[in-house]
A and B are shown apart, each in its own frame.
Chain A
Amino acid sequence: MIARRQLLGALAGAPLLAAAPAYRLQAEPVAAGLWVVRGADAPIAMANGGAIANISIIATDAGPVLIDAGASFAHGQALAALARRLTGKPVARVYLTHLHPDHSFGIGAFAPGIVAATPPVAAQVAGDAAGFSTGLYRLLGDWMRGTELPAPALVAGDGPVVIGGRRLRLLALSGHSPADLAVLDEASGTLITGDLVFHNRAPATPHADLPAWRRALDLLAGLGHQRLVPGHGPVDATPGTAIAQTRAWLDWLEPALKAAMEAGLTMVEAGDMPIPQRFAGLAVARLELQRSVSHYWPALEAARLPRVSD
């Protein structure tokens, strides 16, 4: 045994014995008893372990409430440890805003009995969500070790809930994805939106329903909150800046894609079209435009190119 260990050490020193990659998370105070763990403002990549979404931690007398669970088992574990350090108590509840893996694939780090999701999201977890795993393992490798998707045992409905004396208003919406949950912390006036709102980052549309998304944004704009934690990007210290930004992008995107098709552009040209100067502050705008072209172009062809065969 000793000889083997010596051999290993002599061969490679640290690399052979290196630990799995570790998430180094930092909580940013947002309001009294409310923190955000900011995601990297980048696509899911080996460099960030998939930790690209904002995760919120809300202190209550019963223990912290997490809004979203992280991208992997290890990410969920690191979030649980951080929440415990901040509040001195184990996590009491996890709400999933939606199914996208950067927000939800850490649920395996929590007992199913404390994880809550809307019925459509719970159905997706039980259904084809694991299909995302293959793609994530390809992108994230060992960061994904141990990632499983146990079904959430709690149902998140639309309306108020009180956890450890703290009142949260749950808003079951849709638009960014088939089911999106937003959470209003009434004590601090902080609205946590998941990916219904992006801030200083272009919105992503892989499973979006744009009319439903606009309706959700209209509703969120009228809640009377003071500040907003978006799904991606920095905290918005105002009630409406990030909502308006998200809305402006969606309002531009849809007619711009239709106009590109009307003008006889190719998909590649549409993805390279000029992005208006007013979106200059949005990270990954070109990337998200090209993704959106991919999401919408085939349907636009079917709807807008005249049928010429019988």
Chain B
Amino acid sequence: MLAARAAAGPLDGPLPGDPLNSPNLPVVLQLVLPEGARVRFDDRVKVSFPAIAENQRQFPVQVDARAVPGVRRIIIFADLNPIQKAVEFTPHAAEAFIAIRIKLDQRTPVRAAVEVADGSWLLAGGWIDAAGGGCSAPPVSRVKGDWSQALMQVRGRLWPSGDGGPARLALALRHPMDTGFVDNIPSYWLETLAVTAGGRRLAELALNASVAEDPSIMLMPHLREGESVAVAARDSGGLDVAVRVAGQSPIPPSREAP
């Protein structure tokens, strides 16, 4: 176990044992984790993404920590993004699984930090090469000029489990997710998103502007049979949206390609 802020440790070099040998991980951990967080690297946390960043403004990242018991929180971050932390996910009654798209400002480690029951954090991730500018080019909807018309529109779909396991919930919200790094466009982003069912908290997300424009999220909530979910989101300007997503066809048993 390593302390992210070891009293004697230098803050300007790689963290000992970092399999990615990132130049500034100790500093990044100070920014994205609670003060004094204890961390270790753990292969049971699966951070998956494509082999190349085809679009540095919309890079899909999936974290699967279902092999880790007692997950409290999952944080997705990129060491060399100007806004390192993309999302903090609390699975109250959901699998320790999240898929989301983030921005990449350059070649960077993309990681997950997973908090477990004793308050320590497990780290995993990988390097991804990327063209620059994912955080500093204007959002597509700003260029097209239609961002305000579609603001906070929500698309969603719920796949109930066919076999008593977790459901799948896909959410796609329209939001420019302005980083504040583009001339004359102040930062403005979707800040929180909560999923509930029958008054039970299923999942909470705290997002930053390094989440990709028009956030797209997949979660695996635990639902009772026939239940729908309520989703409430709020952006940094205080704009709220509340929607309900009802279950449709269950998850197909086979996921084989045709």
Q: Which residue of A lies closest to B140 (CB)?
A: A298
Are A309 and B258 closer than 8 Å at their CB atoms?
no
What is the size, in residues, of chain B's interface with A at 8 Å between Cβ atoms? 40
Q: Does B62 contact A (CB under 8 A)?
A: yes
The docked-state distance in angstroms from the alpha carbon of A135 to that of B137 is 14
Q: Which residue of A lies closest to B169 (CB)?
A: A264
Q: Does A276 contact B (CB under 8 A)?
A: yes
Which residues of B130-172 have CB atoms within 8 Å of chain A's CB atoms?
Answer: 131-132, 152-157, 159, 168, 170, 172
Q: Does A99 contact B (CB under 8 A)?
A: no
Are A272 and B52 closer than 8 Å at their CB atoms?
no
The docked-state distance in angstroms from the alpha carbon of A290 to that of B244 is 31
* Given A263-B252, A267-B99, A268-B61, also A305-B157 (CB < 8 A): yes
Are A271 and B154 closer than 8 Å at their CB atoms?
no
Instruction: State which of A19-27, A187-195, A226-234, A251-259 sits at the interface with chain B.
Output: A251-259
Interface size class of A (residues with CB under 8 A): 35 or more
Instruction: State which of B5-13, B43-51, B112-120 sits at the interface with chain A.
Output: B43-51
The docked-state distance in angstroms from the alpha carbon of A301 to that of B60 is 14
Q: Which residue of A lies closest to B254 (CB)?
A: A263
* Given A268-B60, A301-B216, A302-B172, also A309-B154 (CB < 8 A): yes
Q: Does A294 contact B (CB under 8 A)?
A: yes
Are A290 and B216 closer than 8 Å at their CB atoms?
no
Which residues of B96-122 have CB atoms within 8 Å of chain A's CB atoms?
Answer: 99, 101
Q: Which residue of B lies closest to A284 (CB)?
A: B51
Which residues of B23-50 have CB atoms within 8 Å of chain A's CB atoms?
Answer: 48-50
Are A301 and B52 closer than 8 Å at their CB atoms?
no
Are A308 and B154 closer than 8 Å at their CB atoms?
yes
Which residues of B183-202 have CB atoms within 8 Å of chain A's CB atoms?
Answer: none
The docked-state distance in angstroms from the alpha carbon of A287 to that of B54 is 10
Are A308 and B257 closer than 8 Å at their CB atoms?
no
- Inside 8 A of A267's CB, which chain B residues have their CB? 50, 60, 62, 99, 101, 216
Are B257 and A276 closer than 8 Å at their CB atoms?
yes
Are A307 and B60 closer than 8 Å at their CB atoms?
no
The docked-state distance in angstroms from the alpha carbon of A307 to that of B243 is 10
- Inside 8 A of B132's CB, which chain A residues have their CB? 138
Q: Does B251 contact A (CB under 8 A)?
A: yes
Are B159 and A275 closer than 8 Å at their CB atoms?
no
- Inside 8 A of B101's CB, which chain A residues have their CB? 267
- Taking the nearest CB of chain B, how far is it from the CB of A297, in angstroms? 8
- Inside 8 A of A287's CB, which chain B residues have their CB? 51-52
Are B168 and A291 closer than 8 Å at their CB atoms?
no
* Given A264-B251, A307-B155, A309-B241, also A294-B258 (CB < 8 A): no
Are B155 and A305 closer than 8 Å at their CB atoms?
yes
Are B154 and A294 closer than 8 Å at their CB atoms?
no
- Inside 8 A of B61's CB, which chain A residues have their CB? 268
- Inside 8 A of A293's CB, which chain B residues have their CB? 50, 60
- Inside 8 A of A262's CB, which chain B residues have their CB? 252
* Given A138-B131, A255-B258, A267-B101, also A295-B54 (CB < 8 A): yes
Are B257 and A305 closer than 8 Å at their CB atoms?
no
- Inside 8 A of A43's CB, which chain B residues have their CB? 52
Are B152 and A264 closer than 8 Å at their CB atoms?
no
- Inside 8 A of A256's CB, which chain B residues have their CB? 257-258
Are B172 and A305 closer than 8 Å at their CB atoms?
yes
Are A294 and B50 closer than 8 Å at their CB atoms?
yes
Are A271 and B50 closer than 8 Å at their CB atoms?
yes
Q: Does B55 contact A (CB under 8 A)?
A: yes
Q: Which residue of A lies closest to B62 (CB)?
A: A268
- Inside 8 A of B241's CB, which chain A residues have their CB? 309
Which residues of A46-82 have CB atoms within 8 Å of chain B's CB atoms?
Answer: none
Q: Which residue of B lies closest to A292 (CB)?
A: B54
Q: Which residue of B lies closest to A272 (CB)?
A: B48
Cross-interface CB contact of B214 among A266, A271, A295, A298, cutoff 8 Å: A298
Are B155 and A273 closer than 8 Å at their CB atoms?
no
Q: Does A286 contact B (CB under 8 A)?
A: yes
Extra A-B contacts (7), CB below 8 Å, given A305-B172, A308-B243: A263-B251, A263-B255, A287-B51, A291-B50, A301-B155, A305-B170, A307-B153
Counting from the closest, the 5 A-B pairs by CB-CB distance are A266-B99, A267-B60, A294-B54, A305-B155, A309-B154
7 A-B pairs within 8 Å (CB atoms) are namely A264-B218, A265-B255, A268-B48, A268-B61, A294-B58, A301-B216, A307-B153
